[in-house]
Amino acid sequence: MLVDRRAHRRRLSARALRSARVDVYRKGIFCLESEWFGLRSTVSVRPALEFLATSDYHIHHIHRDVATRAELEHYLRKWLQERHTAYRILWLSMHSRKGLLLPGDMRRPDETISIDRLEEVLTGHCRDKFIHFGGCRTIALPRARLQRFLRRTGAVGISGFREEVDWTESTLFELALLLEMQKHPLTPKGLRGVLRAMRRARPVECKASGFAMHVRD
């Protein structure tokens, strides 16, 4: 009976989406998150992912905590495995600086990962994939450098914030972004549609955070 009720709810949700004339292009989310505010903090994007999973869009996700550069690279390679091809959106939810991810002890240079190293790990493996950088100022880089990253990895696009952002406000923004991405195909045209929709719906947040999306030329 429980299975029947769940199936019934899914059918109702599908009918509701069709009646609202919303096309759905489901893309799983592969999220790698590092510690934000110390061991006693419960802050995490996991509830946002669970909300998307239990919404009428039923967005599947994989979430893993990473505390070191080695762990981050390990799970990046997991994301690239054929068994995870349905998870086309990579969400890197961690502290960062300009062109630099900080998954571990920020006092140790050997625990950082540069965009150059990230590009090396992902080179040639990101066809039909998208990467969102959830930290501050990760993609505050020249357009030419980001286009090189896209060409070498093969990713359709990337997004992130060019300014310092508040954790809660930026996570709410990302929740809206990930939902909007389900309404568009993962193509250059589709991603430009996502960007237009976000700028139209949330102009203040886009400007304040320096939100940017880059699509491969």
Residue 141 belongs to domain with CATH number? 3.40.50.1460
Q: Name the residue range of residue 155's domain.
A: 25-215
| pLDDT for position 15 | 55
Per-residue pLDDT of the chain (217 residues; tens, 9 = 90+): 444 555 555 554 555 544 445 678 889 999 999 998 877 888 999 999 999 999 999 999 999 999 999 999 999 999 999 999 999 999 999 999 999 999 987 778 888 999 999 999 999 999 999 999 999 999 999 999 999 999 999 999 999 999 999 999 999 999 999 999 999 999 999 999 999 999 999 999 999 999 999 999 9
DSSP state of 34: -
Q: What is the pTM of this model?
A: 0.88
- The burial of 153, by beta-carbon neighbours within 10 Å (0-12 exposed, 13-18 middle, 19 or more buried), is given as buried
Considering its fold, how many domains does the chain have in total?
A: 1
Residue 94 resides in a domain: yes
Sheet holding 113-114, edge to edge: 96-97, 100-101, 113-114
Beta bridge partner(s), residue 115: none
Residue 140 main-chain phi, psi, to 5 deg: -80, 65
User: Does residue 17 lie in a domain region?
Assistant: no
pLDDT, residue 143, reads 97
Residue 13 counted as domain residue? no
Length of the chain measured in residues: 217
- CA-based nearest residue to 34, from 99, 102, 136, 121: 102
- Is residue 91 within 8 A of residue 29, CB to CB? The reply is yes
The answer to whether residue 16 sits within a structural domain is no
Is-contact 143 212, C-beta < 8 A? no
- The reported pLDDT for the residue numbered 137 is 96
Q: Which residues pair with 113 in a beta bridge?
A: 101
pLDDT value of position 109:
81
Assess if residue 12 is contained within a domain: no
C-alpha closest to that of 210 among 144, 114, 136, 130: 136
